[in-house]
Amino acid sequence: MAGNRAVVYNKPGSVEIRDTDYPDLILRDGPGVNPLNVGRKCEHGVILKVVTTNICGSDQHMVRGRTTAPSGLILGHEITGEVIEVGRDVEFIQKGDFVSVPFNIACGRCRNCKERHTNVCLNVNPDRPGSAYGYVDMGGWVGGQSEYVMVPYADFQLLKFPDKAQAMEKILDLTMLSDIFPTGYHGAVSAGVRPGSTVYVAGAGPVGLAAAHSAQLLGAAVVIVGDLNAERLAQAKSFGCETVNLREHANLAEQIEQILGTPEVDCAIDCVGFEAHGHGKAHGEAPATVLNSIMEVTRAGGRLGIPGLYVTGDPGAVDDDSKIGTLKIRFGLGWAKSHTFVTGQTPVMKYHRDLMMAILSGRAQIAKAVNATKISLEEAPNAYQEFDRGVSRKFVIDPHGLVK
């Protein structure tokens, strides 16, 4: 039987490459696997040879020690690959298909899946609705920052690319379909972005950049991106965004007014999440900062898209309330302004086919927007360190050296 190598969380601040088991069509016991999922048969699944798999900011939360992720957890929920084995119950996906894997695992059979809420499938995580590969408290499905990975419910979930050669030419764009592009797009759609909108995007990390590019695709008149990191703001500016450096200018409303002539935008997107920092030179961690600031600068009747990650357990939080996800939100302000809030995991399958067509037609340039950077599997530990230092790159792991 072939071997397998994977990126494994070791301890806070440390990941390493380890030899691990070659996957089969059953969920076996291992780090992070929910006991009620152990032994789960997946004849509805496939084995993929991983072509690309990306490092995500959500992975970084675990690697920083900001979750209860166990040592030995195989990381990675952004997966693109070639089908090399199909289960007995797979009818339509075939060996040799080149596919994108939605990061949220969904059965296709429960009420939520049938209503297109594949982000909160009822049948894949015994603890609560919703699941993902290689992530803490998500049922224990093995991650895909590896050479090979098992993907369940293949007929329902997998997005097949129409032409493999064409897909390989655009692989640095298409690899973003598993999470980051749909997540940014979901944030923009949830915020109500439409032609002529003025939009504020909090955070110039990869998700923020994807949200900004998505807002442009949806016809926004002006997209303003705010961050504390000058390098990431320069990346946002490179594809036509206005920017606000919140380390240098603590008052967000004033900066928006300088750009638009008014201190408010039509809609806002939170792409930071629970590790948010305050604004200004002496900033420190203040997890409610982004949510409160986007309520302040979004017009009455506006919408807030919140794809940024918030958790129910954060052992490294700044206070006891934040450790269980309780934040000091000015909800009264949002109520007074009749804001609409949309939160939660992105239902990737709601968007990924349309976004694939936007990429294949040349309409979407997501790899350029997020500065996609190809690395080998061996380079992943160093890439995690660079990402943690705030480098403006979206790292794409190429485990088999297949990407030109």
Structure-token pair, residue 190: 């949830």
* Residue 2: predicted pLDDT: 73
Q: How confident is the model at residue 206 (pLDDT cuts 50, 70, 90)?
A: very high
CATH number for the domain including 253?
3.40.50.720
At 174 the three-state DSSP class reads: helix
Do 72 and 128 reside in the same domain of the chain?
Answer: yes
* Residue 1: predicted pLDDT: 47
Structure-token pair, residue 269: 């997107």
Residue type, 321: D
Does 392 reside within a domain? yes
280 sits in the region (left: phi over 0; alpha: psi -120 to 50; else beta) called left
Residue type, 228: L
- Mean pLDDT over 151-179 rounds to 98
Does 402 reside within a domain? no
CATH number for the domain including 23?
3.90.180.10
Q: How confident is the model at residue 220 (pLDDT cuts 50, 70, 90)?
A: very high
Looking at the chain, the whole-number percentage of residues with pLDDT higher than 90 is 96
φ, ψ (nearest 5 deg) of residue 108? 80, 0
Residue 184: domain span: 180-343
| Rg of the chain taking only CA atoms, in angstroms | 20
Alpha carbons 396 and 53: distance in angstroms, whole number:
6
Does 195 reside within a domain? yes
The overall pTM is greater than 0.85: yes
* Residue 282: predicted pLDDT: 77
Closest to 193 (Cα-Cα) out of 302, 105, 291 = 302
Q: For the chain, what is the domain count?
A: 2
